[in-house]
Amino acid sequence: MDINTLIIAIASMGGLGLLFSAGLSLAEKKFYVEEDPRIEKILNELPGANCGGCGYPGCAKFAEVVVAGEAEINGCPVSDDEARKAIGEILGVDVDSGEKQIARLMCQGGNYETAKKAEYAGIKSCLGASYFGGGEKMCEYACLGFGECVEACTFDAMYMSENGLPVILDDKCTGCGKCAEVCPQDIIEMHPESHKLFVFCKNLDGAKNARKVCIKACIACGICVRNVEEGEMEMKDNLAIVNYDIYGKEAKLPTDKCPTGCLAIIGKPIVDEPAEKVEA
Amino acid sequence: MNLLLLFISAAIVNNFVLTYFLGICPFVGVSKRVSSAVSMGLAVMFVMTITAAVTWLIYHLLLVPYQIEILEYVSFILVIASLVQLVEMFIKKVSKPLYDTLGIFLPLITTNCAILGLALFSVLREYSFIESLVFGIGAGAGFTLALVIMAGIREELELSNIPKPFRGAGITMIVAGSLALAFMGFAGLISM
């Protein structure tokens, strides 16, 4: 192949490309469709991660429906207060910006804390394990530990700890809710950032059974309920529940009253080292 | 007469979708409603016709004289992509609902193998300019025909009681296969 062919090839293809692009740009002018300029502006305020947390196929579509008035301004769970205010300004409305939500894992039953009922050798997925006998842990409500939530997280806000439980990084969590969606056990919940006190357990078994399967299970002893004002907490189906509406936001309860340590304040683990390992 | 035969050959006997199995993606994707199938078919037909003409010109006036036939794929794709952009702009301007209905399948005409196939076939078979133009229109008509037949059947299917395992994609594939079988009946009708 001589150099002439090369030059001709480059020139002809370049020429064709130029010709077509010129034609297209002319056509673009002729067929220009006026779009609401606010869509573009709102799109600039959105995170642009296209995570789908809002329920629409991407940030662009969300911007479109917000302008059309079909979606709430704070419908994007990822955007921060600032962005919501900016969007509100673009649309000329006040935003009641909902509080930032953070994913919380409602289980402390890692490999160490829970007893095992069997070795699970099926496909390494939470969903698979949930279909097939509910994984290897004795507690049927526990985290299955295959990290489907970590894989679902598009913001690198989660990782699997050595103990086999997902850890959520508060400062990176955007509250999109993807992890809660994929969890077959439904033990990841979305909570407002200010909620600090949680019952980190979903076990509905009675005291005897709960005790047997996990050292950090709620054994429904009711100590916590007796130690707070009426209505702030209650027992329901063998599980203590915090009524945040009445309880308020402050984590004021002395959590060391809880014998198993399932009631805890975020960031302040009360029971650091479990006394003994449970045997199945 | 020859041109008429060529048209029928491209549209029915050697139907791009049902005989060559080109352009299956929109065939399954945009065949839920007859109305959108017609519009999709027309859009493809437009792109096919213009592609046939423009690629013929490029091939015979540019690539052959300078002996750079090796670039036919690049230049053909360039033509197709530009045309699809044009159609997209046009449809967006004229009918936003139609634009939304066609959705992703409209820009996907760019990578629709039926269209590149058409351009390559007409080079391979050494058609004249008029012939390749007719070939393009015929192929587009055939594509529209296949899409509309499929959409008609699928509209009926929605009302019928399909056994559970076949619902959705399954029955669509079965219908597509049966259609292809039916079109095989035309084989040998015209040999072109």
- 3-state SS class at B142: helix
Same domain flag for A200 and A254: yes
**What phi and psi values does residue A116 have, to the nearest 5 degrees?**
-100, 145
Would you place residue A98 in the very low, low, confident or very high pLDDT band (cuts 50, 70, 90)? low
Same domain flag for A143 and A181: yes
Spatial distance between the Cα atoms of B136 and B1, rounded to a whole number of angstroms: 17
Q: Under an 8 A CB cutoff, do B68 and A23 touch?
A: no
Span of A32-41, B18-27, B71-80 with lowest mean pLDDT: A32-41
- Check: pTM over 0.90? Answer yes or no: no
Same domain flag for A63 and A161: no
Q: What is the predicted pLDDT for the residue at B176?
A: 92
In this complex, the residue of A5, A9, A24 whose CB is nearest that of residue B86 is A24
Whether the pLDDT of residue B137 is over 90: the answer is yes
Residue entry with tokens 């990176």 = A172
The CATH number covering residue A133 comes to 3.30.70.20
Q: What is the predicted pLDDT for the residue at A271?
A: 43
Spatial distance between the Cα atoms of A257 and A223, rounded to a whole number of angstroms: 7
Model confidence pLDDT, tens digit, residues A157-184: 899 988 889 988 888 888 888 888 889 8
Span of A12-16, A216-220, A252-256, B103-107 with lowest mean pLDDT: A252-256
Same domain flag for A106 and A203: yes
B68/chain A closest Cα distance in angstroms? 7
Q: What is the predicted pLDDT for the residue at B134?
A: 94
Residue entry with tokens 């919501």 = A84
Question: Contact at 8 Å (CB) between B33 and B162?
Answer: no
Model confidence pLDDT, tens digit, residues B147-183: 999 999 999 988 888 888 888 888 999 999 999 999 8
Helix (H) or strand (E) holding A24: helix A3-30
* A7: contact with B, CB 8 A cutoff: no
Would you place residue B184 in the very low, low, confident or very high pLDDT band (cuts 50, 70, 90)? confident
Would you place residue A280 in the very low, low, confident or very high pLDDT band (cuts 50, 70, 90)? very low
Highest mean pLDDT among A132-136, A258-262, B141-145: B141-145
Q: Which residues of B53-82 are buried (b: 16+ CB within 10 A; e: fewer)?
A: bbbbebbeebbeeeebeebbeebbebbbbb
Spatial distance between the Cα atoms of B42 and A112, rounded to a whole number of angstroms: 64
Number of domains in chain A: 2
* A28: contact with B, CB 8 A cutoff: yes
Structure token pair of residue A279: 């045997």
- The reply to whether A210 falls in a domain is yes
Q: Which residue has the higher pLDDT, A51 or A16?
A: A16
Spatial distance between the Cα atoms of A172 and A144, rounded to a whole number of angstroms: 23
For residue A176, what are the domain limits? 101-265
- The reply to whether A242 falls in a domain is yes
Whether the pLDDT of residue A224 is over 60: the answer is yes
Q: Kindly report the average pLDDT of chain B as a whole number.
A: 87
Span of A68-72, A208-212, A221-225, B17-21 with lowest mean pLDDT: A68-72
Q: Under an 8 A CB cutoff, do A9 and B85 touch?
A: no
Would you place residue B136 in the very low, low, confident or very high pLDDT band (cuts 50, 70, 90)? very high
Same domain flag for A70 and A168: no
Would you place residue B141 in the very low, low, confident or very high pLDDT band (cuts 50, 70, 90)? very high
Q: Which of A4, A5, A8, A19 to mutate to test the interface with B (most CBs of B within 10 A)?
A: A8
Q: Which of A1, A4, A24, A25 to mutate to test the interface with B (most CBs of B within 10 A)?
A: A24
Whether the pLDDT of residue A61 is over 90: the answer is no
Q: What is the predicted pLDDT for the residue at B188?
A: 77
Whether the pLDDT of residue B1 is over 70: the answer is no
Question: Contact at 8 Å (CB) between A153 and A179?
Answer: yes
Spatial distance between the Cα atoms of A227 and A207, rounded to a whole number of angstroms: 19
Q: Which residue has the higher pLDDT, A105 or A275?
A: A105
Q: What is the predicted pLDDT for the residue at A275?
A: 46
Spatial distance between the Cα atoms of A140 and A207, rounded to a whole number of angstroms: 15
- Residue spans of the domains in chain B: they are 2-184
Question: Contact at 8 Å (CB) between B31 and B145?
Answer: no
Model confidence pLDDT, tens digit, residues A44-56: 888 887 777 777 7
Residue in chain B closest to A18 (alpha carbons) equals B78
Q: What is the predicted pLDDT for the residue at A82?
A: 80
Q: What is the predicted pLDDT for the residue at B56?
A: 92
Report percent pLDDT > 90 for chain A: 4
Of the candidates A225, A234, A265, the residue with the CA atom closest to the CA atom of residue A249: A265
Q: Under an 8 A CB cutoff, do B92 and A33 touch?
A: yes
* B178: contact with A, CB 8 A cutoff: no
B56/chain A closest Cα distance in angstroms? 14
Spatial distance between the Cα atoms of B38 and B45, rounded to a whole number of angstroms: 10
Structure token pair of residue A19: 């010709």
A49/chain B closest Cα distance in angstroms? 20
Spatial distance between the Cα atoms of A113 and A266, rounded to a whole number of angstroms: 18
Q: Which residue has the higher pLDDT, A268 or B42?
A: B42
Spatial distance between the Cα atoms of A10 and A30, rounded to a whole number of angstroms: 30
Same domain flag for A190 and A69: no
- The reply to whether A3 falls in a domain is no
- The reply to whether A66 falls in a domain is yes
Same domain flag for A177 and A137: yes
